[in-house]
Amino acid sequence: MKEHFSTIADSKVNSRSCAPQSIENIKIEEKEENGVKIIEMPLHFIRGNYSNANLPKMILNNHAFKNGIKLLQYNCEMVDKFFVSDVNVDGIKYRSSIKEKSRRYAEQAAALVYLHTKGLVEKYYGFIPSVGTRKHKNLVTYKAKIENKKRILDICEIKEIQYKELSIAIYITCLGV
């Protein structure tokens, strides 16, 4: 019985990570339209993965200011009630191939593509919630709850009783939990 509950708890923790965990598994597509080079990646901007101090556009603007890159241009298009944006940096357009729900998110996704292609951020930036975000705090709390349940199962004694062809598990705390 303990093994059953611990495998369920492990599967719940691992099922939350269905998205890629880093940039390593994502393909960069380079194409050319109307004489302009376009770099495209399927990156999705998830607001909960960022704190207010480390948004992709903010990091890109700081990088542009420090390195003297002038005139970052964001071009946004509406496609089927969704938005696709690209950022033009030094004549090269960086774009996410995933449609976003707002213009702001589409611009953040385009900045994220630039940051990853230039290697300005860690390979897991944007994929895993950074420390200090609400999502990170919730994930830590959820993992703590799972660990607490496992600890309680280790302390408790489980007795199974047969009653009219039904197996009923009764938890008896032995150590005064």
Q: What is the mean pLDDT of residues 125-138?
A: 65
**Residue 170: C-alpha distances to residues 4, 62, 158 (Å):** 15, 60, 6
Give the global pTM. 0.64
- Side-chain half-sphere CA neighbours of 75 within 13 A: 9
- Domains within the chain, CATH numbers bracketed: 2-9+132-173 (no CATH), 22-118 (3.30.160.20)
Q: Phi first, then psi: give them for residue 88, nearest 5 degrees.
A: -100, 115
The pLDDT tens digits for 5-55 are 555 555 544 444 445 566 777 888 899 988 999 999 988 888 888 877 789
**Residue from 157, 132, 154, 167 nearest 9 by CA:** 154
